[in-house]
Structure 1
Amino acid sequence: MRTTDHIDALRREGELLAHAAERAGEHTSVPTCPGWTTGDLVRHTGTVHRWATRIVAGSLPGPVREDPMPTAPAGAGLLPWYRDGHDALLRTLEAAGPALDCWTFLPGPSTPLAFWARRQAHETAVHRADAESARDGGLSSVDAAFAADGIDELLTGFHARPRSRVRTEHPRTLRLRPTDTDAVWTVHLARDTPPRTERSADGPADCELGGPAQTLYLLLWNRLPLDAATVAGDRALADLWSRTSGIG
């Protein structure tokens, strides 16, 4: 996807998040984020937006520690505060040029600008789904290309890092095959190394998850249950993903 596509997705997802949070109310529990209210979710996402804006606008080298979640604002000031941060992030990304040089923290797109536009689009999309789950559970759709891009970021970015907790006693393979895109991923799991993902369907797999890209995207982020997808092969391997793949 192009950087402009990610910025457009960030705009849309951020607006949907605010709308869902407004309808849910600040003190509603978020089923997909146990222990959080909608207010906590909005403050977290608004804080992350401001953190990313600070890094991009200041061309900051890293690592840059994430800003602490504020205890305020609350009540009527919360959503205007969130929207101000979301708008500032959009303006900052749109103003940044391809020569932007700043810190990034995942393998992925070739430029820092591409990285931050992509990361913030998916950060916001996942938390938009959280806000909608607090509202009424009805989820807005995203197109298959964006969902597949998010799957790729999660598998080849977050879970390529040593801190990924997805481990198996013996080598195993988990395959992800969306039904509405040509993308396929094969994730190689082991005991002593982080997951290694190939963008291919080569070789056998111990377990394969199938379904629309959006379903797999939210499932891999533990926003949907395994039963939302088709599971072929060793379901215990899919269950292990659900138990150990959370991103802290």
Structure 2
Amino acid sequence: METAEHIKHLAREGQLLADAAERAGLDAEVRTCPGWEVRHLLRHTGMVHRWATAFVAEGHTSYRPADGEPDLDGTPLLDWYREGHDRLVTALTGAPDTLECWAFMPAPSPLAFWARRQAHETTVHRVDAESALGLVAGRSPVGPDLAADGIDELLCGFHARDKSRVRTDRPGTLRVRTADTGDVWTVLLSADAPRTARTADGPVDCELTGPAEALYLSLWNRLPAGSPAVAVTGDDRLTRLWRETSAVTW
């Protein structure tokens, strides 16, 4: 997926997130994030947006911590979130392809990294915001291409890092296969960080099959265990391992 497409998705998903948050109310429970209310979701996502904007707009070439979450609520919090989202979209749209700045996963360029990362950060949290409205079947869709791209980022990016907690003393191989886009990933799970290949070669212990959207949300733990949208064949131990250890935290 091209950088311009990621930015387009970021713009749309961020607007949907704010709209859902406003409709749900800031004290509504975020069903997909136990213990969070909508205000917590807005503070977190808005903080991440501003953190990313600083790297893109100011060209920082080394890690810098975020400024932290604001002590805002009500309409001022919603306005703060919308403003930060707009700033991020503007910064990415105006950044040159030659942008040099810090990034924390391999990518064709820092600009490509931040556009992709923030598109998926915002998409997953938009799903969270809509969960506060009780939306499941009626939530805004995640397009197949975006969903498949997000699966790739999660498997080949986040969980290829040494800090991944998805580890087991009983090695096994997990395959993820999208029924609509034709993408396949094979993930070796062991006592080391997962190793993922974009291949359907070789036997596996467990396979997850379904539409890209369902697999995307399942692997991000936004669908309940046992969702009929995802078919599981083989050793379900590996899907339980993923659900118990794969959460990406700030």
CA distance in 1, matches of 2:81, 2:41: 10
Deviation of 1:170 after TM superposition, in Å, equals: 2.6
SS in 1 for 2:132: helix
Between the two proteins, the alignment pairs up a number of residues equal to 245
Deviations 1:180-226 (A, max 9, x none): 012100000111x1000000111011000011100000110110023
Question: Is the CA contact (8 Å cut-off) linking 1:165 and 1:194 kept in structure 2?
Answer: yes
Is 1:121 aligned to 2:126, yes or no? no
Deviation of 1:4 after TM superposition, in Å, equals: 0.4
CA distance in 1, matches of 2:225, 2:29: 22
Deviation of 1:76 after TM superposition, in Å, equals: 1.6
CA distance in 2, matches of 1:166, 1:142: 25
Deviation of 1:97 after TM superposition, in Å, equals: 0.4
SS in 1 for 2:233: strand
Deviations 1:57-92 (A, max 9, x none): 0100112223311222x1121211111111111110
CA distance in 1, matches of 2:201, 2:64: 38
CA distance in 2, matches of 1:214, 1:62: 34
Is 1:237 aligned to 2:235, yes or no? no
RMSD of equivalent CA atoms? 0.9
CA distance in 1, matches of 2:66, 2:214: 29
> Structure 1 length as normaliser, TM-score?
0.97
CA distance in 2, matches of 1:235, 1:196: 19
Question: Is the CA contact (8 Å cut-off) linking 1:48 and 1:67 kept in structure 2?
Answer: no
Is 1:159 aligned to 2:163, yes or no? no
CA distance in 1, matches of 2:65, 2:186: 32
Deviations 1:117-162 (A, max 9, x none): 0000000000000000011223210211100000000011110111
Matched AA of 1:215: A
2:35 corresponds in structure 1 to 35
Deviation of 1:171 after TM superposition, in Å, equals: 2.1
SS in 2 for 1:217: helix
Moved over 3 A (4+): none
Matched AA of 2:66: E
Identity of aligned residues (%): 58
2:129 corresponds in structure 1 to 131
CA distance in 2, matches of 1:23, 1:195: 39
Question: Is the CA contact (8 Å cut-off) linking 1:177 and 1:185 kept in structure 2?
Answer: yes
1:204 corresponds in structure 2 to 203
Structure 1 unaligned blocks of 5 or more: none
CA distance in 2, matches of 1:106, 1:66: 18
2:217 corresponds in structure 1 to 218
CA distance in 2, matches of 1:164, 1:66: 21
Q: 1:68-217 residue pairs with structure 2 within 5 A?
A: 68-72=68-72, 74-107=73-106, 109-138=107-136, 139-191=139-191, 193-217=192-216
Structure 2 unaligned blocks of 5 or more: none
1:55 corresponds in structure 2 to 55
> Structure 2 length as normaliser, TM-score?
0.96
